[in-house]
């Protein structure tokens, strides 16, 4: 049962580029900064993002159609995290877009979750590429924007050029972590595999076969085949010493292939998937490990849900769309979730309305574009969520 990830075009609206680039040099309190003290920020340390209790609320924003400030205004609250995607190695366009996103985040006092995609393959991420990235992220952090890097996400899937290559992936993750630790020490690293339901995701372009070297490593039960009886997470784990956050994107899809029907979410689906106990309309996934127990509890890492939302076709009746979305957010954001998963420290809503290849149609994942849905969502937001704090000016150093 292959529940493939959401493929999407990622673009930033090119807004106020000149002012944005100026901001990269405006974090210090030196006389040459060109900014008033009240507008300045102290250098950011992403390690300080982990809340002492509750979870950061963030958004995976369609930057090409909406600004972070506009979404904050709609919610009546400012998301603590804004998700942005980029290729690695960085292109000139990637650099511009990343800087634009950083300035929007700076304006709202939000942090960035930067998802880096090595689309040319893991071998393209050389030490020089990693060091170049570190320089840019150090500059962004210096403006007061904390950056968490989610590198080569869903590496256990078969649909990305970096997928199902455990040896190369772990080495690449560790290389990047070392470069950022040296050159951009204010950043943190997130390891985020795909949910293992449907593993090993047969039929993908980058599926591992029996003749590939990684096969023996991925065949964790040593039975000569890859199946859901094999651990879909452990072979790809880079190590406690280089992982600051663990994450897993969890979406509510339909229950029948290709998962494209409008369907109310089963009441305990989110929690069951997180601990490897889901057995429901979408199939029996109980062969999966307890992701939360292994990587949040035992490894002692804060857990992120980097992306989440509920599947609703764009032409669904408004009442049904609201019911489906509410059936998902009420469990993801429930008091029971907070109590059962105390290491859960970040939840990011996928705020896109877009065409999905898997189902051949437009899907409305959003909560802020329909007045009734937005009203219900904001009314039901729990007190244990943490939003962006007020900005603190960067105080001048003591003389």
In a domain, 21, yes or no: no
103, 117, 263, 307: the active-site residue: 307
In a domain, 9, yes or no: no
In a domain, 5, yes or no: no
Residue 256 is predicted with a pLDDT of 82
In a domain, 117, yes or no: yes
In a domain, 18, yes or no: no
CATH at 268: 3.20.20.80
Low-confidence ranges of the chain (pLDDT < 70): 1-40, 394-399
Residue 168 is predicted with a pLDDT of 97
Number of other residues whose CB lies within 10 A of the CB of residue 206: 15
Domain count, the chain: 1
Residue 358 is predicted with a pLDDT of 79
- CA distances to 207, 227, 300 from 199, rounded to whole Å, are 11, 6, 25
* pLDDT, tens only, 271-328: 999 999 999 999 999 999 999 999 999 999 999 999 999 999 999 999 999 999 999 9
CA 193 to the chain's CA centroid = 10
In a domain, 19, yes or no: no
Residue 7 is predicted with a pLDDT of 38
Residue 392 is predicted with a pLDDT of 73
Give yes or no: 380 in active site: no
Residue 40 is predicted with a pLDDT of 59
The model's pTM is 0.90
| Residues 259 and 359: beta-carbon distance below 8 Å | yes
Radius of gyration (C-alpha) of the chain in whole angstroms? 21
In a domain, 26, yes or no: no
In a domain, 291, yes or no: yes
Give yes or no: 307 in active site: yes
Domain of residue 59, residue span = 55-386
Q: Give the torsion through C-alpha atoms of 76, 82, 85, 90, to 10 deg.
A: 130
CA 107 to the chain's CA centroid = 21
40, 154, 263, 358: the active-site residue: 154
- The closest alpha carbon to 193, from 161, 228, 229, 164, belongs to 164
């Amino acid at each position: 049962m292959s529940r493939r990830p959401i493929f999407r075009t990622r673009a930033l609206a090119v807004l106020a580029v000149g002012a944005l680039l100026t901001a990269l040099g405006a974090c210090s309190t030196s006389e040459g900064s060109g900014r008033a003290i009240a507008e300045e920020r102290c250098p950011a340390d992403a390690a300080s993002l982990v809340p002492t209790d509750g979870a950061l609320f963030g958004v995976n924003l369609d930057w090409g159609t909406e600004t972070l400030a506009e979404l904050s205004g709609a919610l009546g609250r400012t998301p603590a995290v804004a998700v942005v995607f980029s290729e690695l190695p960085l292109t000139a366009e990637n650099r511009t877009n990343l800087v634009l996103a950083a300035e929007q985040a700076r304006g709202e006092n939000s942090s960035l979750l930067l998802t880096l995609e090595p689309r040319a393959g893991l071998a393209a991420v050389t030490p020089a590429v990693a060091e170049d990235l570190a320089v840019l992220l150090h500059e962004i952090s210096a403006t007061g924007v904390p950056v968490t890097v989610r590198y080569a996400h869903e590496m256990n899937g078969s649909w990305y050029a970096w997928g199902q290559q455990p040896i190369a992936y772990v080495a690449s993750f560790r290389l990047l972590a070392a470069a950022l630790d040296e050159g951009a020490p204010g950043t943190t690293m997130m390891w985020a595999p795909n949910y293992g339901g449907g593993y090993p995701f047969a039929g993908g372009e980058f599926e591992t076969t029996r003749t590939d070297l990684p096969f023996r490593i991925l065949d964790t039960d040593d039975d000569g085949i890859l199946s859901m009886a094999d651990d879909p997470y452990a072979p790809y784990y880079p190590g406690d010493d280089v992982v600051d956050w663990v994450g897993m994107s969890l979406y509510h899809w339909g229950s029948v292939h290709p998962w494209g029907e409008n369907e109310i979410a089963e009441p305990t689906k989110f929690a069951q998937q997180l601990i490897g106990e889901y057995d429901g309309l979408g199939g029996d996934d109980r062969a999966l490990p307890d992701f939360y127990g292994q990587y949040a509890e035992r490894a002692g890492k804060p857990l992120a849900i980097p992306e989440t939302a509920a599947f609703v076709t764009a032409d669904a009746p408004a009442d049904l769309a609201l019911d489906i979305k509410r059936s998902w957010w009420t469990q993801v954001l429930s008091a029971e979730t907070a109590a059962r998963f105390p290491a859960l420290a970040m939840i990011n809503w996928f705020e896109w309305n877009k065409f999905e290849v898997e189902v051949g149609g437009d899907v409305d994942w959003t909560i802020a574009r329909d007045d009734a849905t937005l009203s219900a969502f904001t009314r039901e937001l729990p007190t244990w969520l943490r939003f962006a704090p007020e900005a603190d000016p960067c105080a001048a150093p003591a003389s």
